[in-house]
A and B are shown apart, each in its own frame.
Chain A
């Protein structure tokens, strides 16, 4: 019996093998199309992962990764006893926590846009509010400068012309968080409304007809039909947001940084950049360890939140 089964299996195997090879051959040109992209991902995404070994070494550029001395978890121990690390963690969480408060902004914008009857006007507003998404941080921060700078900012010019003292908003520890949160809302709320607008458009019109017959006003319709209907979208977007709790936009924070607000804006990315690449200082191993810590936590957050969303019955993001 066993022999027979084996002979059948061995009789099948060559057939299968041939099939795989011939299938690969059949698709050879398709592979050629995909190859450049695969190579780019290998070279620029996977190859650097080799460098994560630096986090467990005292990396010395002259010795290279192969020959640098191993130190185990020493850098991670240093990390957890470094008060700077806790400051970075706090800043990252506070900035993201504050930006979470603005989460409803694109939803409200979508609800408002959807109610506009005049389609031309609606399109005009949409076109305008989507624009900031495509504007670079260098420009956004420049515009902020023209608005809030002590001497050249329009706000302070008006204040001075009214006989008040100018206020150095951009150098104020108190003002810096509100400023970067407003920048973020300005830049992303319009674009973020697209996904909610699409969800609202997909709602069955008959629901509204029925509600109108029952005497529901516009506000009641929004509260009892629109919002429950787009809840899955809201949950998915919220989960995506939670997944990025450990990340702060480097360009924005880097450009807004100055000596006066430094301690408020010191987040992981900034510290890593300043202590490895920018200064030519050689804390490669320690900064790699910080980066690795951040990456691992981010990955865990994304996987966890994605699992949560699929468990809740919403379409997972991954």
Chain B
């Protein structure tokens, strides 16, 4: 009787277990399909970009090339169009990212302190989230400032954003006051407190926003087509758009190069996409560490 009951119980447990395994498998497959929509396009582009022109036949689908080659990359990386665009993107990204983090953190820190006028500044910052002057007045303003066709037009406006300031502000508010008070008693100045105590305590948050800023500057496109009138100054996103989406690629690809006659347009296009997307994909794993943290949740809301 008892053994029968135990057996029955075990059966139930087993049933539950089998059910869980079954459910988890189905779930795993569904999510794998979701993930595949992200992985497969990149994989396909990567494979085709490394296909040797000699085995490439237009109109064929390649999942695995018969012969590998990096000729498309040789052509792309040596072209002056690419090098100019890279230079432009590097300038925008390397100057923009530190300024962005510094300015946002500075204003966020100021608003986390009981400084006179804080309420007013807070409201003024929030208002920029609510209302913008629009494209034409912003462009006119940029022209008045003499920043048309300057990389600074792509850098400066986004060095301070209401939403980042607010997230940083609430982060700084969460740092225990006692730490700063103790430092003040020890004779530490305000700037030193910020540099020596506050910033080191905020490393995870700052790292997250550094990477956000990096990615957004690397992806600069809109402000580039708005303000950069000379094509020699265009950044990588404009370059990739020209090479993939426009019918005349002569102004971005060096036609004097022998390889340009050999490498089919399609392979060239895919190599360009890989080159431009690579830094973001490389930086991305460093972001992953912070996905679960509160900063990211605040981040998504905005």
- Mark A residues whose CB is within 8 Å of B: 20, 23-24, 27, 29-38, 40-41, 43-52, 54, 109, 112-113, 115-118, 121, 124-132, 134-139, 141-143, 145-147, 151-152, 154, 157-158, 160-161, 186, 190-192, 194-195, 198, 218, 236-237, 240, 250-251, 254-255, 269, 272-273, 276-277, 284, 287-288, 291-292, 294-296, 298-299, 302-303, 317-318
A-B contact list, 20 entries, CB within 8 Å: A30-B110, A34-B115, A35-B106, A36-B102, A37-B159, A37-B165, A38-B107, A43-B141, A125-B31, A131-B284, A137-B221, A151-B59, A154-B61, A161-B60, A195-B297, A198-B292, A198-B297, A250-B222, A291-B136, A302-B130
**B55 on interface, CB distance cutoff 8 Å:** no
Q: Which interface class (under 10, 10 to 19, 20 to 34, 35 or more) fits B?
A: 35 or more
**B4 on interface, CB distance cutoff 8 Å:** no
Residues on A with beta carbons closer than 8 Å to the beta carbon of B190: 27, 29-30
Asked if A48 and B138 make an inter-chain contact with CB atoms under 8 angstroms apart, the answer reads yes
Bound Cα distance A292, B136 (Å): 10
Asked if A186 and B37 make an inter-chain contact with CB atoms under 8 angstroms apart, the answer reads yes
Asked if B125 and A112 make an inter-chain contact with CB atoms under 8 angstroms apart, the answer reads no
Residues on B with beta carbons closer than 8 Å to the beta carbon of A34: 106-107, 109-111, 115, 121
Given contacts A277-B135, A295-B132, 12 further A-B contacts (CB under 8 A): A33-B109, A38-B107, A38-B121, A40-B160, A138-B237, A139-B237, A161-B59, A161-B61, A277-B139, A277-B226, A291-B134, A291-B137
- Residue from A20, A136, A137 whose CB has the most chain B CB atoms within 10 Å: A136
Classify the interface of chain A: helix, strand, loop or mixed. Answer: helix
Q: Which of B238-284 contact A (CB under 8 A)?
A: 238, 240-241, 244-245, 265-266, 269-270, 273, 276-277, 280-281, 284
* A129 in contact with B35 given A30-B110, A146-B270, A240-B301 (CB within 8 Å): yes
Residues on A with beta carbons closer than 8 Å to the beta carbon of B287: 134
Contact string against A for B residues 166-209, beta-carbon threshold 8 Å, 1 for contact and 0 otherwise: 00000000000000000000000111001000000000000000
Asked if A157 and B59 make an inter-chain contact with CB atoms under 8 angstroms apart, the answer reads yes
Bound Cα distance A141, B116 (Å): 48
Asked if B241 and A295 make an inter-chain contact with CB atoms under 8 angstroms apart, the answer reads no
- Residue from B39, B102, B106, B157 whose CB has the most chain A CB atoms within 10 Å: B106
Q: Which of A134, A145, A154, A303 contacts B130 (CB 8 A)?
A: A303
In the complex, which residue of chain A has the Cβ closest to the Cβ of B241? A138
**B232 on interface, CB distance cutoff 8 Å:** no
Asked if B133 and A49 make an inter-chain contact with CB atoms under 8 angstroms apart, the answer reads yes
Residues on B with beta carbons closer than 8 Å to the beta carbon of A46: 124, 128
- Sorted from nearest, which 3 A-B pairs have the closest CB atoms? A51-B137, A291-B134, A34-B110
Bound Cα distance A287, B131 (Å): 17
- Mark B residues whose CB is within 8 Å of A: 20, 23-24, 27-28, 30-32, 34-35, 37-39, 41-42, 44-45, 58-61, 102-104, 106-107, 109-111, 113, 115-117, 121, 124-126, 128-141, 145, 156-157, 159-160, 162, 165, 189-191, 194, 215, 218-219, 221-222, 225-226, 237-238, 240-241, 244-245, 265-266, 269-270, 273, 276-277, 280-281, 284-285, 287-288, 291-292, 296-297, 300-301
Asked if B30 and A112 make an inter-chain contact with CB atoms under 8 angstroms apart, the answer reads yes
Asked if B126 and A128 make an inter-chain contact with CB atoms under 8 angstroms apart, the answer reads no
Q: Which of B139, B156, B269, B288 contacts A40 (CB 8 A)?
A: B156
CB distance from B18 to the nearest CB of A (A): 14
CB distance from A138 to the nearest CB of B (A): 4
CB distance from A309 to the nearest CB of B (A): 12
* A40 in contact with B157 given A34-B106, A152-B266, A288-B137 (CB within 8 Å): yes
Q: Which of A54, A145, A190, A194 contacts B140 (CB 8 A)?
A: A54
Residues on A with beta carbons closer than 8 Å to the beta carbon of B58: 151
Asked if A295 and B136 make an inter-chain contact with CB atoms under 8 angstroms apart, the answer reads no
Asked if A276 and B136 make an inter-chain contact with CB atoms under 8 angstroms apart, the answer reads yes
Residues on B with beta carbons closer than 8 Å to the beta carbon of A51: 133, 136-138, 140-141
Asked if A31 and B194 make an inter-chain contact with CB atoms under 8 angstroms apart, the answer reads no
CB distance from B143 to the nearest CB of A (A): 9
Asked if B111 and A48 make an inter-chain contact with CB atoms under 8 angstroms apart, the answer reads no
Residues on B with beta carbons closer than 8 Å to the beta carbon of A31: 110, 115
In the complex, which residue of chain A has the Cβ closest to the Cβ of B140? A51
Asked if B244 and A142 make an inter-chain contact with CB atoms under 8 angstroms apart, the answer reads yes
In the complex, which residue of chain A has the Cβ closest to the Cβ of B214? A134
Asked if B215 and A134 make an inter-chain contact with CB atoms under 8 angstroms apart, the answer reads yes
Residues on A with beta carbons closer than 8 Å to the beta carbon of B41: 143, 146-147
Bound Cα distance A269, B136 (Å): 10
Asked if A41 and B124 make an inter-chain contact with CB atoms under 8 angstroms apart, the answer reads yes
Bound Cα distance A51, B203 (Å): 40
Asked if A273 and B35 make an inter-chain contact with CB atoms under 8 angstroms apart, the answer reads no
CB distance from A91 to the nearest CB of B (A): 17
CB distance from B32 to the nearest CB of A (A): 8
Bound Cα distance A127, B281 (Å): 11
In the complex, which residue of chain B has the Cβ closest to the Cβ of A192? B300
CB distance from B51 to the nearest CB of A (A): 13
In the complex, which residue of chain B has the Cβ closest to the Cβ of A249? B222
Q: Which of B106, B131, B137, B280 contacts A50 (CB 8 A)?
A: B137
Bound Cα distance A218, B132 (Å): 46
Asked if A33 and B37 make an inter-chain contact with CB atoms under 8 angstroms apart, the answer reads no
